[in-house]
Amino acid sequence: MSHVFPRHSRKIPPKVARGEGPFLYDQSGKAYFDGSGGAAVSCLGHSDPTVIKAIKDQIDTVAFAHTGFFTSEPAEALADALVETAPGNLDRAYLVSGGSEAMESALKLARQYAMEKGETGRRHIIARRQSYHGNTLGALATGGNMWRREPFAPMLMDTHHISPCYAYRGQQDGESEFDYGQRVANELETKIAELGPENVLAFVAEPVVGATSGAVPPVEGYFKRIREICDTHGVLLILDEVMCGMGRTGSLFAYEQDGITPDICAIAKGLGAGYQPIGAMLCTAEIYDTIRDGSGFFQHGHTYNGHPTAAAASLAVLNRLTKDGVAKNVKPMGDKLKAALTDRFGQHAHIGDIRGRGLFIGVELVQDRETKAPFDPALQLHAKIKAAAFDGGLICYPMGGTIDGKNGNHILLAPPFIMEDSH
């Protein structure tokens, strides 16, 4: 018996034995196609020699040095490369160990920036229902996934949630997609007015919503209106690209496709592609300089900030995606996959919507295509689909979402970018 504390204590998964390309193998030799990259992590598959060599070389040089004492070549090179590739005026990269840490860092940076500007009243975070921003308490409080929040509700800071931009569920009869987007974006302005603009710190959103709703992209114009509202009221725009970033949607940063730039952006998952645990928070020069010229100290930190080995792995991943052009496969392969799914399942009695961008695709399950009624959560449909797919050698990411407080179901697909037609 193992003493590992597993997430599901009554359902222990098999031991992974090895990984090769887009496949993982268990100890019996059974192959699993990693159709969701775990949880949208393994964008390069499982045996990329360039990334593995970069890790080995870095460990041979120096595995770790605490950022309280040293900076390092890979951390600096990674920060420079991220800033260079991020559209807009993101100017600094703060390296952490994962997505939740990136989001915690973003929230605290926003607050400290407001304080150092003398806007000490700014404290409220506004986010959206149907969102997930991580499992640590600050990130969990920001997210709008009721199922994940519920047990910890008494421990969560006060946050405010507006409607998501989820056309399949929210667009009304006779309303254009654009008008729908403007209507739900304008909820932000109403909420800011309600709280008092001088009290609002930031608006937080995933450009393409991942785990909670299944690859839901925004409609045209939505984020432009959001950016406008944030600018009008001096509210920071924090984009959570932990899942949808790093080329997953067909552009290195998902927000590129919406014609806006954030003040702060969180990335993780594909950043290390699973080869090392790493996340990053990027922010503008205005934010960084205010703190540098003010207290000169970001009142936040983690032991593994700027971890040299993780940074070296991530730099190699980024080079594979950009310089080697692996990310270029995302759009054409994503279009093919979506077309194949639509062809095969588009008229299925229990599939309401097939959507997404790039290799970030969601399939929404409904009891009834006409009424869009979700399945009864008691059926635990997502768990059954996950188990059946796994038995059949496919790793996918089915989830019970939250549709107006009730559980809905979707299957998230986020296969490695090295996927080929045969897969």
* CA 381 and chain centroid, separation: 23
Candidate list 100, 159, 249, 261; residue touching ligand PLP; CB under 6 A: 100
**99 vs 247 by CB, closer to ligand PLP:** 99
- Residue 132 engages ligand PLP in binding (rule: CB under 6 A): yes
Is there binding between residue 268 and ligand PLP (CB under 6 A)? yes
Q: Which residues pair with 97 in a beta bridge?
A: none
* 133 scored as a contact of ligand PLP (CB under 6 A): yes
Query: Whole-angstrom Cα distance, residue 71 to residue 87?
Result: 25
Is residue 398 part of the contact set for ligand PLP (CB under 6 A)? no
Tokens 């840490």: give the residue. 101
The reply to whether 104 sits near ligand PLP by the rule CB under 6 A is no
Q: Would you state the structure tokens that stand for residue 321, as one six-digit string?
A: 């995606």
User: What is the rounded radius of gyration, in angstroms, for the C-alpha atoms of the chain?
Assistant: 21
Is 243 a residue that touches ligand PLP (CB under 6 A)? yes
Binding of residue 253 to ligand PLP (CB under 6 A): no
Write each residue from 355 to 394 as x if it is in contact with ligand PLP (CB under 6 A), else as -, in one continuous string.
----------------------------------------
Tell me how far, at minimum, the Cβ of 128 lies from ligand PLP, in Å. Answer: 12
For the bound state, the minimum distance from the C-beta of residue 268 to ligand PLP, rounded and expressed in Å, comes to: 5
Shortest Cβ distance from residue 206 to ligand PLP (Å)? 5
Residue whose pair of structure tokens reads 């934010």 in the numeric block: 287
Here's the x/- map for ligand PLP, 134-173, by CB under 6 A: it reads as x---------------------------------------
What gap in Å lies between CA 187 and CA 193, rounded to an integer?
10
Question: Taking Cα atoms as reference points, which of 354, 263, 414 lies closest to residue 255?
Answer: 263
**Does 98 sit near ligand PLP (CB under 6 A)?**
yes
Pairing verdict, β 23-26 and 31-34: antiparallel
Quote the CA–CA distance of 197 and 189 in Å, as a whole number: 9
DSSP 216: B
Angle, helices 49-61/308-321, rounded to nearest 10 degrees: 150
With CA atoms as reference, report the closest residue to 420 among 338, 323, 336, 318: 336
Nearer of residues 82 and 115 to ligand PLP, judged by Cβ: 82
Which positions from 39 through 58 interact with ligand PLP, judged by CB under 6 A? 39
* DSSP per position, 239-301: EEETTTTTTTTSSSSGGGGGT---SEEEE-GGGTBTTB--EEEEEEHHHHHHHHHTTS--S--
Q: Which of 37, 99, 221, 408 binds ligand PLP (CB under 6 A)?
A: 99
Question: Which residue of 211, 215, 229, 310 would you call a contact of ligand PLP, by CB under 6 A?
Answer: 211
Q: Which stretch binds ligand PLP (CB under 6 A): 179-187, 204-212, 338-346, 362-370?
A: 204-212
Residue 240 touching ligand PLP (CB under 6 A): yes
Q: Encoding tokens for residue 163?
A: 């409607």
> Considering the complex, what minimum distance in angstroms separates the CB of residue 198 from ligand PLP?
28
Residue 254 interacts with ligand PLP (CB under 6 A): yes or no: no
Nearest Cα neighbor of 412 from 209, 237, 228 is 209
Q: Please, what is the minimum distance in Å from the beta carbon of residue 393 to ligand PLP? A: 24
DSSP letter (8 states) at residue 136: S
By the rule CB under 6 A, 353 interacts with ligand PLP:
no
Least distance in Å: CB of 250 to ligand PLP? 17
CA distance 12 to 10: 6
Residue showing the smallest CB distance to ligand PLP in the complex: 99
Q: Which residues pair with 399 in a beta bridge?
A: 410
Q: Which stretch binds ligand PLP (CB under 6 A): 206-214, 230-238, 309-317, 411-419?
A: 206-214
Q: Which is nearer to ligand PLP, 74 or 214 (CB)?
A: 214
Tell me which residue has tokens 């229902």: 129
Is residue 249 near ligand PLP by the rule CB under 6 A? no
Write down the least CB distance from residue 289 to ligand PLP, Å: 27
Q: Is 419 left (phi over 0), alpha (psi -120 to 50) or beta?
A: beta
Closest CA to 40 of 416, 418, 422: 416
Q: Pick between residue 200 and residue 243 the one whose CB is nearest to ligand PLP.
A: 243
Binding footprint of ligand PLP on the chain (CB under 6 A): 39, 98-100, 103, 132-134, 206, 210-211, 240, 242-243, 268
